[in-house]
Structure 1
Amino acid sequence: MRFDLVDLQLFVAVAETRSITNGAQRVHLALASASARIKGLEAALGVSLLRRGRRGVELTAAGETLLDHARVVLHNVETMRGDLAAFARGVKATVRFLANTSGLSEYLPKTLAAFLAEHPHISIDVEEHESGEIARAIAAGAADLGLAAEHALPDNIERIAFSEDRLVLVATRHDELANRRQVEFREVVERDFVGLITSSALHTHIAGHAARLGTRLRFRARLNNFDAIGQMVAAGIGVAVMPEIAARRCARSMKINVIRIRDPWANRRLAICARSFKTLPRPAKLLVEHLRKVAQ
């Protein structure tokens, strides 16, 4: 079984464009050469990868499997090229890391700072995404590691438990809810809210649960961090949903109370996730070990 990176690049291009002609153009190959390479792939693997029709091509089940693996291989090759080129310039290897809002704002800054101080030749690119998006990106090989709500991870994603990440409601101490120990989300969806900016993963998560109750949350203010949200809540502008770790921290210096949300979706665990921990590049493996040591 012999095929090269050009074959994989061509196959991904054909699969994404659903056309051998357009796929060949994308990777700058002549149509005849592209057709021969696809046939060579099928012969080498002993399976049909494409169903050819008048309007283009469709992937067979084997083709879908190859597409999944090809994307991972090409991502790893690009990562290798980038990391080696960085070393050639005297720069650093890079770990691509995706995290949800609470992970990024509450758990990772100090943890990643300690890791980077110990490993001066490694850098980390961190992006914020909703947990479901993180799962899809990890499965597709678009990132090395993720920190996401465990319930959003499918069975084919490996994970290591990291910490509890309960979501709670916060209200000013003068609010009628302030003395409640817990509340159902449906009891408060008609209230004024203070929340994160709309591009945040947590905003998307909370707004989605409000939509399932047939409601669109009414925001008096949207801000970019939990401390600013806490100050708005303390001033009586509205209630807010935030991670319990952030809410407890804010409550120590602000006149707000923390009320548990009874709904099951508010009880979350964060997990470190990867497509396969064994096949990660060494810098990513070092980061996993660091995160495992600090897991709560």
Structure 2
Amino acid sequence: MRFDLSDLRLFLLVVEAQSITRGAERAGMALGSASERIRGMEQASGISLLERRARGVRPTPAGLAVAHHARIVIGQVEQMRGELRQYAVGLRGHVRVLSNTAAMSEFLPNELAAFLANNPTIDIDLEERPSREIVAAIEGGLADFGIVADTVDLGALETLPFRTDQLVLVVPAQHALAGRAEVSFQDVLDEPFVGLSHGSALQAHLAGHAARAGRHLQLRVRVMGLEAACRMVEGGVGIAILPKATVVRSSREGAVCAITLTDPWALRHLTLCARKVSALPPHAQQLVSHLIEN
């Protein structure tokens, strides 16, 4: 049987997403082409690799074996590319990074832009995920490294400190809470909220804390991006919980108030995590060094 690297990368993305459709999207491939490639892999191996269900797919035992070896093969190829970059101009390296909302919006854009400008032969695949999902993906070898909040169990992953992120309650300047110095999350759960779109790691984080309190957030609107959320709060649509850095950077002076949350989870230390940094391909290690040292 013969599988090429594109087949193996696609198969890993499908297994991770538990969906051929979403796996194809992440691979930048048409659904029909992705489905044909998966069928080709199954025909070549003579066994089913995916169990098709009404809502997605999951790997069969044989599929799990293929995914395991695919991670090893792709990791070795990336290692080789990183080493050959020292000798062959133009050979591209690829780094896959997963990040929570705060790092994605506030800390990574400038750092990654500077790194990419100085390293034209390295490409970065950056995806937003909740911290718990990131840890599971890194443990499973589905990405090179991730940026997570240290409020999650990092298991046996190697960690390096990255940045500090403080979540605050943001209210319009005329709101009844605007004069408060601090407030707890539970005290504001009856308020209408401005939320972030489905798939936002921060929104999933807040929904989880509300659920643990036996409540749910009353979302008046969902928006794409933290700056849009600030604008909605300024307009009096509702209140929001956002990174303090976003509020300082994005809100108009005097339009909103940022109130300290008393909940311990509101102050988060963002952490870079990997299975083992020294085992990453050289170009991924280079990116890690850039992020930690700057």
TM-based fold match above 0.5:
yes
Asked if 2 retains the 8 angstrom alpha-carbon contact of 1:147 and 1:270, the reply is yes
Aligned residue among 21, 28, 32 for 2:44 = 28
Residue 237 of structure 1 is matched in structure 2 by 237
What is the Cα deviation at residue 152 of structure 1? 1.5
1:207 and 1:140 mapped to 2: Cα distance? 25
What is the Cα deviation at residue 90 of structure 1? 4.5
Residue 21 of structure 2 is matched in structure 1 by none
What is the Cα deviation at residue 220 of structure 1? 1.3
2:187 and 2:77 mapped to 1: Cα distance? 50
Residue 28 of structure 2 is matched in structure 1 by none
Asked if 1 retains the 8 angstrom alpha-carbon contact of 2:83 and 2:282, the reply is no
1:111 and 1:136 mapped to 2: Cα distance? 25
Asked if 1 retains the 8 angstrom alpha-carbon contact of 2:79 and 2:282, the reply is no
Over 3 Å counting, the alpha-carbon distance change for 1:80 and 1:282 in structure 2 is: closer
What is the Cα deviation at residue 75 of structure 1? 4.0
For 1:223, the aligned partner's letter is V
Which TM-score applies when normalising by structure 1? 0.73
Asked if 2 retains the 8 angstrom alpha-carbon contact of 1:231 and 1:254, the reply is no
Over 3 Å counting, the alpha-carbon distance change for 1:254 and 1:224 in structure 2 is: farther
- Alignment pair present for 1:107 and 2:107: yes
For 2:243, the aligned partner's letter is P
Which secondary structure does the structure 2 equivalent of 1:28 belong to?
Answer: helix
1:230 and 1:248 mapped to 2: Cα distance? 10
Aligned residues: 246
For 2:139, the aligned partner's letter is A
Task: Write the deviation string for residues 91-122 of structure 1: whole angstroms up to 9, x where unpaired.
Answer: 62110010011111111110000011111111
Task: Write the deviation string for residues 151-184 of structure 1: whole angstroms up to 9, x where unpaired.
Answer: 2242311111111111110001111111111111
- Comparing 250-259 with 207-216, greater Cα deviation is found at 250-259
Which secondary structure does the structure 2 equivalent of 1:268 belong to?
Answer: strand
What is the Cα deviation at residue 285 of structure 1? 0.5
Matches within 5 A, 1:123-138: 123-138=123-138
For 2:127, the aligned partner's letter is E
For 1:113, the aligned partner's letter is A
What is the Cα deviation at residue 195 of structure 1? 1.6
Asked if 2 retains the 8 angstrom alpha-carbon contact of 1:100 and 1:202, the reply is yes
What is the Cα deviation at residue 136 of structure 1? 0.5
Which secondary structure does the structure 1 equivalent of 2:278 belong to?
Answer: coil
Task: Write the deviation string for residues 25-77 of structure 1: whole angstroms up to 9, x where unpaired.
Answer: 8483469xxxxxxxxxxxxxxxxxxxxxxxxx99xxxxx9x999756424414
Which secondary structure does the structure 2 equivalent of 1:238 belong to?
Answer: coil
Residue 49 of structure 1 is matched in structure 2 by none
Asked if 1 retains the 8 angstrom alpha-carbon contact of 2:116 and 2:122, the reply is yes
Residue 284 of structure 1 is matched in structure 2 by 284
For 2:189, the aligned partner's letter is V
Over 3 Å counting, the alpha-carbon distance change for 1:264 and 1:27 in structure 2 is: farther
2:82 and 2:93 mapped to 1: Cα distance? 5
What is the Cα deviation at residue 250 of structure 1? 2.9
1:150 and 1:237 mapped to 2: Cα distance? 31
Matches within 5 A, 1:12-51: 26=42, 28-29=44-45
2:273 and 2:70 mapped to 1: Cα distance? 18
1:72 and 1:254 mapped to 2: Cα distance? 51
- Alignment pair present for 1:163 and 2:163: yes
Divergent runs of 4+, >3 A? 25-31, 66-72, 77-91, 251-254
1:74 and 1:122 mapped to 2: Cα distance? 19
Which TM-score applies when normalising by structure 2? 0.74
Structure with higher Rg: it is 1
